[in-house]
Amino acid sequence: KTYAKMSQYNQLFKPLAVSPIYYGNRTLIKFYNDSTVLHLLPDRVYSFTYSMILGENPPLDEIISLENSEVNDVFGARVILEQVQIDVRKFSSLGFKKPRGVRLEFTSPVLLQLPSYRRFKRGRYVLFPIPSLIIGSLIDHWNANCDINMLIKRPAFLALYSNYLMMESAYNLKPVTIIYDESRKIRGFMGWVFYDLRKCRNNISFKRIMALLDYAQYVGVGKSRATGFGQVKVSCVY
């Protein structure tokens, strides 16, 4: 109930994110020019994740009721929810200690867009995870949903700073074209990238970027995170 209500919020950065459905390590997404028809077969175990940013009083009764519950009439079928895992975090608890590098695995298409500029009224999609675009999208979402005492007050500086802190050293990425809705097809990318983290004296900025990368595991990166895009897993090397 709470998730359905929040999904109707009329705001740019909704306080929620949902993943696509996974079968094992496979992401079930319809790509352009892919003739395969996606089916959910009976007696198979599928998984998904979703995140909500809530106030001080989360709906515990709804959360507890998820375990071993049944959902009827999902496209004419019955779904059983099992092995539900719940992770509760505060904004102030997010972050990593001082890793030497981070690996970002994009498990669903990432839609990163440059802002509009002068006569270019529509920003263009970027097919590489430039640190400033990744961190910039996370700052926008963070500032739209955090408490006022957790606001990042110099977002442009921190996004620019990430280009110097995060140095890509290996990657395996592929561009993809996704059927976004009945009339639109958009370009994104999937895969992984490894960033070496350069030594820096600005510990405050380093900690904020680490907090944002941890935050990404819950809310994703880029556009359309509330509809399954931009899902990311982050792992650190110390």
Comparing 119 with 155, the larger pLDDT belongs to 155
Contacts of 75 (CB under 8 A, 6+ apart): 40
Supply the pLDDT for residue 227: 85
**pLDDT-derived band at 201, boundaries 50, 70, 90:** confident
Supply the pLDDT for residue 67: 61
Locus of tokens 């200690």: 97
Supply the pLDDT for residue 112: 93
Supply the pLDDT for residue 1: 58
- pLDDT tens digit string along 111-144? 998 877 776 666 688 999 999 999 999 999 999 9
The gap from C-alpha 116 to its chain's centroid, in whole angstroms, comes to: 22
Neighbours of 160 (CB within 10 A): 14
CB–CB of 225/219 below 8 Å? yes
**pLDDT-derived band at 58, boundaries 50, 70, 90:** low
Supply the pLDDT for residue 63: 65
Q: Specify the CATH number for 91-237; select among 3.30.70.1900, 3.30.365.10, 3.40.190.10, 3.40.50.720.
A: 3.30.70.1900
pLDDT-wise least confident of 136-140, 144-148, 159-163: 144-148
Residue 220 corresponds to which amino acid? G
- pLDDT tens digit string along 164-181? 999 999 999 999 998 777
Supply the pLDDT for residue 68: 59
Supply the pLDDT for residue 214: 98
Supply the pLDDT for residue 151: 96
Supply the pLDDT for residue 218: 95
Average pLDDT, the chain: 87
CB–CB of 40/79 below 8 Å? no
- Give me the residue spans of the domains in the chain: 2-81, 91-237
